[in-house]
Amino acid sequence: MKKTGKPKKEKFSMHLMWKQRYLLLMSVPFVVWLIIFKYIPLWGWTMAFQEVKPNSFALPIWQRKFVRLQNFADAFTDRLFPQTMVNTIGLSILGIALGTIAAILFALMLNELCFTRFKKFTQTVSYLPHFVSWVIIASIAKMLLNDGGAIDTMLHAKLHLMSTNSPVFWIVVCMINVWKEMGWDAIVYLSAMAGIDQGLYEAAKVDGANRFQRIWHITLPGIRPTVVVLLIMSIGSALNVGMERQMLLSNGIVQDHAMVLSWFAYVRGIGSNNYGLGTAIGMFQSVVGIILLFVANKIAGLLGENKLV
């Protein structure tokens, strides 16, 4: 009796790769870019364990002074490190929360619009700030919110939101970032909403569900896997808060509340010509980010939600 069985996994994989050979060839430039700009630079992490000064760049890596974990110890015992960590975590949590909620609400609003032309126009206008430089955004924000700015003058109130030595600075920065990125982030949620079966909405209408009930029981559960995956990715990059917006929006008064790890690495690394210390701070950011990513992914799996892998 002739035995029948499933084809070997190796043969199936090779056959599938051959069928998709053109797609794989199209991906080669991106893989090469990833290797050159993302993986090869990891060799530079060796500087985190060495004393690297400008005059030591000419030396081979094995001839530089090896200081073990001294750079990490110097970073963790620095007087700015505790406040920097508080600022980074606070800005990350506030930014993720406000950004996610605003993008979902904006996507829901656009999804409920019946006028197609107005919907497309609004969506286009909303994501244009994503392409505007932070230099321009910061200049506009300072003209509006600083002492004597347009909003301060109109309200006849000394708000000083951009010059107050208070964590209110975090809220201002996050709100500006929400305005800048809300339209762009909403694109993903709109795509997820477009994939929901329209028959569910028709059935809900027949059952007498109003618009809010359809959103709560159909739309939000339909995009929940997308929300969870994006939250996991956001948590993984929680410590990688960009320093551009803080540098441009802050001043000498609020700098204690504006300093984040990226800025701290720049000041202590490049600013002090101690590249080993700057590399150690950057390495700390990356390692903690990877740990947070795996932890968030594991928690999502335990809660029965979609995971990255």
Residue 192 CB partners (closer than 8 Å, separation 6+): 222, 223, 225, 226
* Residue 141 placed within a domain: yes
Residue 42 within any structural domain of the chain: no
Q: How many other CB atoms are found less than 10 A from the CB of residue 54?
A: 9
Please report the pLDDT score of residue 304 as a whole number. Answer: 73
pLDDT confidence of residue 209: 87
Is the residue at 86 inside a domain?
yes
Amino acid letter at 276? Answer: G
Can you give the pLDDT at residue 84?
A: 92
- Residues 18-65 have pLDDT tens digits of 888 898 899 999 999 999 998 888 888 888 898 887 777 677 777 888
| pLDDT band, residue 150 (cuts 50/70/90) | low
In the chain, what percentage of residues exceed pLDDT 70? 87
CB atoms within 10 A of CB 238: 20
In CATH, what number is assigned to the domain containing residue 249? 1.10.3720.10
Which residues, 6+ apart, have CB-to-CB distance to 25 below 8 Å? none
Output the six-digit token pair for 308. Answer: 């990255």
Is 24 within a domain?
no
For residue 262, pLDDT over 50 is answered with: yes
Residue 46 lies in a domain: no
* pLDDT top residue among 241 and 84: 84
Tell me the pLDDT of the chain averaged across its residues. 84
Domain limits for position 91: 70-302
Neighbours of 287 (CB within 10 A): 12
204-238 pLDDT, tens per residue? Answer: 988 888 889 999 999 999 999 899 989 988 888 88
Q: How many folded domains does the chain comprise?
A: 1
pLDDT band at 254 (very low <50, low <70, confident <90, very high): confident
Query: How confident is the model at residue 1, as a pLDDT?
Result: 47
- Provide the pLDDT for residue 153: 60
Q: Say yes or no to pLDDT of 10 above 70.
A: no
In this predicted structure, the answer to whether residue 271 has a pLDDT above a threshold of 50 is yes
Q: How many whole angstroms separate alpha carbon 40 and alpha carbon 293? A: 22
Residue 26 lies in a domain: no
pTM equals 0.81
Question: Does the pLDDT at position 9 exceed 50?
Answer: no
pLDDT for the residue 85: 92
> Is 296 within a domain?
yes
Residue 35 lies in a domain: no
